Chains A and B, each alone.
Chain A
């Protein structure tokens, strides 16, 4: 017996659960887990969720348990073909390693951005910062 009644979830959406699903969030994060529910707002409940971080040719999975995602943060929800899941070009590494790689990547980006901003400033130009008002 499935812990989450299939009939209840199935009629709410087109997909047949429980397939592994991949969720892209607005903040750029990738979550992978079993979709247990979805509603008209695309609010999601994910079971045995893993947050997958990828840097270059490496990736790491951080176990996150049960995730309730508010629909407005969802970009994309995809069904993972379990047969294809293993032919990834990436190498899985430990959580510590991928977090370190990510930290280094953010650092590099930040420094490059600083240089860019300074170069523009030197030329009397600036990139306007995103205001919250831009959302409306």
Chain B
């Protein structure tokens, strides 16, 4: 079993088809355990190792997302 990696907070720069994540302006939740991450401002995270992504609730417009997802699903069917 692999040890749990750091919990990282940052601005979502981009995501790709593998759900690899690029974050900018990052901060590590537990800097004592990961002191070498201090000079790191941007990072790439491999999608396969991500356990969860937490988004701030008030910054996510679920209604908009649902509508967009529905539209895309419809387009895909056609």
Contacts and interface: CB of A to CB of B under 8 A. Distances in A.
B54 to A, nearest CB: 17
A98 interface: no
A30 B43 contact: no
B45 A52 contact: no
Given A78-B42, A79-B43, A81-B41, A72 B48 contact: yes
Interface string B20-50: 1010001000000001111111111110110
Contact of B44 (A28, A72, A77): A77
A79 B40 contact: yes
Prevailing SS type, chain B contact patch: mixed
B46 A75 contact: yes
Interface residues of B, number: 24
Nearest to B44: A77
B36 A75 contact: no
Given A26-B49, A71-B46, 5 more contacts: A26-B5, A59-B36, A74-B49, A88-B36, A90-B35
